[in-house]
Structure 1
């Protein structure tokens, strides 16, 4: 992480006086990029056998809707702009693929490598990555470098989530809500076992004075999406945040640029931030593609977050700042 340091003695006037008094301070800023719901296309060739499952409904949806509303040239422009912003870390909250075909999963691995090495990019899976039974396990193996915590434990078992990565003074905690579901369903699940492990990680990182970012695919907010796409275990998740606290929660799934707040520790509210699909084209029902950029600085009890959305700003597909704000935990 690039830290900015100022020695007050290098300035004149008031700064020189402060230097004479022996004052010295360091200002840390951590830049975190967040995007989601890549849905890399086009679909590879698919066999009749592969369609003999829930994939038939997804395939029809791709042909009728998603294929027309996604512009993969936009994904390239979004990622180019994101990398030009030089984030210290990238958080990707799921749905890299569409039907979780083997070729899609491998293509997504190569695409992740184009973003950066595993230690610079953190991924949590989405419902499309777990589209049919067995798909999530394949994604975990293929994308292991991007889902492995600092303890080095590979994300192949049920206890691999949540994982923890500490980068400078920021704790990135990856939660998995992904699971295979029945046709016409896209729900997620947050289990009791995962809740217990999440609480322990939040306590440990709070004791270390870290800024805690929780990444999850499904929004942990009631009413954020309709019943067939909801997260089961919202109450359990919110109870953990209320008891143990967090500073920022990132999610995908809805393809919408939203900011909600849920209750954290000691009555503090925690921002819950969603994002448009990274490849969403102009002119569709959902907001066009963008990513979130956070600049985090401060200290426990006084964190500051400068938050901007960067994405399509005109009909020609130019990328720029869509909106910006200060977004911090608060009462």
Structure 2
């Protein structure tokens, strides 16, 4: 694997290998790429993803180039492709990039001397978020087959929903959706939030993508009509968990008191993001897969010592 741009480029074997590697790193195994260079170019705002990558890169002893769009030649009219080729030419090994245009990173796959990681491309995909979500689910349940996962919220505009829906179905989970009519995409199975809380093993809430559309509804009513209230949380299965890619709009898609409740794994996701991003970097920097290693299904054994 030379780049990580979309989830559909990953086989189940590759996903399980990344889960296994992230698990080893969380248990304390050290992987270092001292003296190699990673550049982080975020053309949209980010807290979790950007800083998670920065921590992951520094833990692997890489030299980190934090690039600001306002100080780059992109403002002078240089194309993104030429900027990436420049980084490739000066010896950068990894480029983590977030930008607002969907599917625009595909042309960068022609760059062979630098590995590109998609950290979010508009309403397209967010593969590293998907992988850390998979890691969090796998830690909890030890499998994907037989799980019912509901992705709830702004489905139409969510790159997280798109990446996770594809990967979870590929891994054998049953995926359903809950959303206001304005944000539904055709061809998906939709349930009400009341149906979702009763049937889901994993309830994945999404932030309202205010920057990508105009929400015509009354925000205070969203929690009552479509969000996770305290009353709905009480009707969830005893073993079910709550996920959210964050940032969280407290009191909108989830009651503020539930962000850190017993079922919530929201901050666990953030912690897992560092280890998963370390695993991805390690893979791109040269980690090899043993084709004879049967990665599926490892069930709980992988995380038994966590």
TM-score w.r.t. the length of structure 1 is: 0.33
Query: Is the radius of gyration larger for structure 1 or structure 2?
Result: 1
Structure ranking higher on relative contact order (CA contacts 8 Å, 6+ apart)? 2
Higher helix share: 2
